[in-house]
Structure 1
Amino acid sequence: MFRGFYTVGSGMIAQQRKTEMLANNLANANTPGYKAEQAAIRSFPEMLMSRLDTTKIPTKNPVHMKGLSPIGSISTGVYMQETLPSFIQGSLQETELTTDVALIEGALPANDNGTKGAIFFRLEGEGGQDFYTKNGNFTVAPNGYLTNALGFYVLDQVGQRIQLKNDEFQLTENGVILEEGTAVATLGISFADRPETLLKEGNGLFRTADGGNLPNAAESAGVSYMTRQGFLEGSNVDAAETMTDMLTAYRAFEANQKILQAYDRSMEKAVNEVGRIN
């Protein structure tokens, strides 16, 4: 009986966390470059149940020697193991701003797990740490450096900050920045062959677990891409699908809640009625 409390309780917690994750996805449905989170719900290890059996004749079987007969396995509940972002590319949104840039994926090789790689803009954050993002909503700071909305520096293909005269620049499909027809820098585009291992930092930022740098996408074998000026990559959240998943998670939570109430009524009867002397 008490084991049932733990089983339904873990199910309710897992569905609550999934609902919170889906709500966050829905809140970022219009955030440029946002990657929807996906939940990985796993079952706790099952337990093998046995019963005492005094009628068993001792044999060489150690289970029978102990007077136990196996009944079967029982689940001990579920938990949300982790959340992983989906790196499927979002739709392009035209802004007509010269400082907005969208990354368009071409051929991206898959790793030995069958997962396709992903490409990112390379940024320099506080303390010189490298961050990666799909959000190409950039601006030219008063000091002339190209930055994102948080003030992180946009880096070129050799890891240097990009300094421009103004925001009246042109960008080729290969990521080359032109000022008055002269190439002044090339956007630093990085490639992650295992994007699922990146750590999510919020505000559309990712970083590597060991603090290292991702390789240059232009120098990675089998990687192709294009840059598009005046566009942003939108969120890859499917609002309709997310709403449906939220309703499903809510119904699962509600079902666990009703089972918990049934257990509670059974325990109440066991305590107050069973064994009562009239």
Structure 2
Amino acid sequence: MQTGYYAATGGMVAQFNRMDTIASNLANANTTGYKRDQLITGDFARLYKTAQSELPIQNQTEEAAQYFNRALSRVPQITDSFTDHSLGSMQRTDNTFDMALAKEGQFFAVNTPQGVRLTRDGTFTINDEGKLVNKQGHEVLSADYFQTKTAIKFTAQDSIITIDKNGLISSNVPDSLQMSANKKLLVVEPQNLRALKKEGENLYIPESSDPLTPLAESGSVMQGFVEKSNVNAVNEMIALVEANRLVGMYQKAMDSQMNDLNRDAIEKLARKG
């Protein structure tokens, strides 16, 4: 068995996966509120050491646990992935319904046909019914939504609308400058960020067991701003070039294993014959 060939193949597959992730990050470099994804590359040896006491070998004997497949010990492979939830830069828009969250790990909530989803993209607008919705037309939820099931709505007379740092919405009394409280945005802080799953359209699926309790004082809502992506295009391009070069190196290693070494072996066998 040419173990070097299989090691190079494993390394190439890992780099292909890495390139896919980098390409996705670059494609969303200008997506409001997008959070970059990152892969973790490990090898069989590390995976083995973390699970060697639970190997599915009869009797779980000490002698059996000494088994170690050195032929596969250093094959690179993707062992984990995670989303980097660090803050992106804040961009001022001065649009009434543009909102950003200035604290890491907090999210707005929207109601989709598939259920409640979370998002960092605060580019909201008003639909024909006067409801506050996101770019996909999904209803933006209020802090009391799970109790009242009512939407955040505005009328044509609401000419002045302000939103404070905790998400409390106020609008003017008709034909006056006096402000009255409206709804409050549902801003949540999931218990486990690693449990969030990206669904597409800049939405996250929360963990089913998470109660999505509204924050009484989030202190992070910024009206008239949007949060830009936390993707650094320069760093991603450097990583893409690195991954591409590694693919080329693995390809050369595979070619050497299959052609040069095989040809050398055949010539030696022919001479002996």
TM-score by length of 2: 0.81
The alpha-carbon distance between structure 1 residues 228 and 99, as it changes in their structure 2 partners (threshold 3 A), is same
Is the contact between residue 5 and residue 257 of structure 2 (CA under 8 Å) also seen in structure 1? yes
Q: 1:155 to 1:72 in 2, by over 3 A?
A: closer
- Distance in 2, matches of 1:266 and 1:143, equals 71
Identify the match of residue 239 of structure 1 among 233, 240, 244: 233
Change (3 A) 1:275 1:45: same
Q: Distance in 2 between matches of 1:261 and 1:5?
A: 8
Give the equivalent residue in structure 2 for 1:275.
269
What runs of 5+ residues in structure 2 fail to find an aligned partner?
Answer: 49-62, 173-178
1:234 shift after superposition:
0.5
Residue 241 of structure 1 and its aligned partner are, at CA, apart by 1.0
TM-score, L = length of structure 1: 0.79
Structure 1 alignment gaps of length 5 or more: 48-61, 64-69, 106-116
Task: Verify the 8 A CA contact 2:112 2:138 in the aligned structure 1.
Answer: yes
Q: Determine which structure has the larger helix proportion and give its number.
A: 2
1:203 aligned residue (191, 201, 204)? 201
- Residue of structure 2 in register with 1:136 after alignment: 122
1:266–1:71 CA distance, 2 compared to 1 (3 A): farther
Aligned to 2:175: none
Instruction: Give aligned pairs, total.
Output: 243
* In 2, Cα distance between equivalents of 1:268 and 1:78: 24
Rounded to whole Å, the distance in 2 between the matches of 1:80 and 1:101 is: 36
The answer on 1:23 being equivalent to 2:23 is: yes
Deviation at 1:271, TM superposition (A): 6.2
User: Match of 2:137, SS?
Assistant: coil
Spell out the pairing of 1:1-278 with structure 2 (5 A cutoff). 1-45=1-45, 73-74=70-71, 75-105=73-103, 118-127=105-114, 129-159=115-145, 160=149, 161-166=151-156, 168=159, 169-180=161-172, 181-210=179-208, 212-218=210-216, 224-269=218-263, 272-276=266-270
Counterpart of 1:229 in structure 2: which amino acid? Q
SS in 2 for 1:136: coil
Q: Which amino acid letter does the alignment assign opposite residue 97 of structure 2? A: T
Q: Deviations over 1:105-164 (max 9, x none)?
A: 1xxxxxxxxxxx71100111115x110000001111101111111111100112242112
Per-residue CA deviation, residues 216-237 of structure 1 (Å, 9 max, x unaligned), is 2227xxxx43211111000000
Tell me how far 1:3 sits from its aligned partner. 2.0
Coordinate RMSD, CA, aligned: 2.6
- Tell me if the contact between 2:166 and 2:216 (Cα under 8 Å) persists in the aligned partners: no
Tell me: CA distance 1:163–1:211, structure 2 relative to 1, closer, same or farther (3 Å): farther
More strand by share: 1
Tell me, in whole angstroms, the C-alpha distance in 1 between the residues paired with 2:43 and 2:31.
33
Correspondence for 1:112: none
User: SS of 2:170's equivalent?
Assistant: strand
CA distance, structure 1, for counterparts of residue 221 and residue 211 of structure 2: 21
CA contact (8 A) 1:36 1:236 kept: yes
Q: Report deviation, 1:36.
A: 0.5
Q: Which amino acid aligns with 1:230?
A: G
1:7 positional shift: 0.9
Query: SS in structure 2 opposite 1:276?
Result: helix
